[in-house]
Chain A
């Protein structure tokens, strides 16, 4: 069997009984056993349980009870609670935590017949852009094992890119789906904030976090979005379909494009982005030049807000409410301190301290309020932009995947997110699509849409991939 079959192709094979769910799951389990020691994309896989569920799926398939995902194995990022399974966010502090319930998106996938394949590696608490902060060790990019897969959903992106899972879930707080998708040559979709429930997704920065998918094709992202989306009364930030109107965009679309975004980029990346623009023009769409917000300023707003929210959200990991308790301890304060100091890694500590600084009176200036004002300015600029254009085309990352352990200071790393964070500040839908290769390494382009126009973004992405073949290139392991 071809290792890189899309969800649509796998569904056809299962429905035509050319393969059974058991054979399909065995195929992916075998690939994980053979290749994942090198890639390190999974942190837990339980083959017996996967095969037991596959057997049940085969019974359903025989009876003709086919749902959207019946028999399809799907990897879950370790940030999502799966009932009875370890959910660690790849942090030592949650090393022994077993989730007591399913996240809503996990439940939705399961109800659609999807089979839980295992948990994928990630940056600790989704804080990182290279998947090097995981307590389970770094993930390696399947295109070049000496390079990073991006982060924080690096395990999910690498697993799909390596053909170890046909689909994987991810979460995107500042680009954590789209950046690894770009580095690994897969399709990464971050929906509008609120369209996918956050219930059961461990919070990093609540006003920015959004679940999404890493897939081989945009069509697969659309199928997964249909299954996963919907109003959830258990999530106060979930948006009901009745709360928004969807005006389908009419062909040809007007696409915004900002030359200023490409100014500091390597000429090879500019060539790939311009080729993507040419493809969309050939499809009949019109381009207009637009001005976008200063990327560095948007980035500062993002880092202040995300660190401030993280310092509050992660207060619950204290050894009492959540987290493996440090022993022995003399006082409760020592217990808190030992638990957190032993449990959190350096990047998490750095962001907690920075977030506390931004929130504290000691900082002199009110960083958080200033950042929220900047967030309003970015938001309003995009609102205005979408009065003129339907979609915005932008790079996904400023470079292809960099080398593991390459020296970057914190702010260098943060700058890798400069094309992705404005989308999270505004809660917009965006997708990263493979659009070229540079020295054998994939690179992605982003399509960004107005709020709640997820379907239009996906439609354009599908038509883009009907004219390109970058998403059909795969690494050899």
Chain B
């Protein structure tokens, strides 16, 4: 009777089993673990529940496995493309230039200590 109630879909079960097994494998192999996820969450200012954490480790492991193929491509000597069009500053180009030594602007002698200017105290202890 029980056999009649369950539709036989052996391929679906096998596919699901293989997928779960792959996910567990990825989870175990992954460089992304709970400790790293907690660090990332902290940097992103996000708090995840234990259930969210578990799912996120699995999801991110899949994503990392997917993007890691990027490391198989030789890219020596390739200049990174940061932007599809040349982006410049609107007001003026941001180019490095030589500046004059700052001490030539000192018209009068200013007291310094270890390279810092001495200024009057504004907060009394």
Q: Which residues of A contact B (CB under 8 A)?
A: 193-194, 207, 233, 236-237, 239, 296-297, 300-301, 303-304, 311, 318, 333, 336-338, 340-341, 344, 346, 349-350, 352-354, 356-358, 360, 362-365, 367, 369-377, 379, 409-411, 414, 425-427, 451
Contacts and interface: CB of A to CB of B under 8 A. Distances in A.
Contacts of B62: 409-411
B46 A349 contact: yes
A410 B59 contact: yes
Given A362-B39, A370-B71, A353 B84 contact: no
B60 to A, nearest CB: 6
A409 B44 contact: no
Given A193-B84, A354-B63, A296 B78 contact: no
Contact of A236 (B41, B56, B90): B90
B122 to A, nearest CB: 27
B60 A350 contact: yes
B46 A367 contact: no
Instruction: Report the 5 A-B pairs with minimum CB-CB distance, sorted nearest first.
Output: A427-B84, A372-B80, A376-B81, A373-B75, A373-B78
Contacts of A318: 45
23 contacts: A207-B82, A236-B88, A236-B89, A237-B87, A296-B69, A311-B44, A318-B45, A340-B45, A341-B48, A350-B56, A350-B63, A353-B44, A353-B60, A356-B44, A357-B64, A360-B40, A374-B70, A375-B81, A376-B78, A377-B75, A379-B84, A410-B63, A451-B84
B44 to A, nearest CB: 5
Interface residues of B, number: 40
Contacts of B83: 207, 237
B118 to A, nearest CB: 35
B36 interface: yes
Given A300-B69, A350-B60, A369 B80 contact: yes
Contacts, number: 131
B39 A297 contact: no
Contacts of A376: 78-81
A80 to B, nearest CB: 21
A274 to B, nearest CB: 30
Given A338-B47, A353-B46, A372-B82, 6 more contacts: A370-B75, A373-B79, A373-B80, A377-B75, A409-B62, A451-B85
Interface string B19-60: 000000000000110001101110111111000100010011
Given A297-B69, A360-B40, A377-B75, A239 B47 contact: no
B40 A340 contact: no
Given A349-B56, A373-B75, A425 B41 contact: no
Contact of A300 (B43, B66, B84): B66
Contacts of B70: 297, 300-301, 304, 367, 370-371, 374
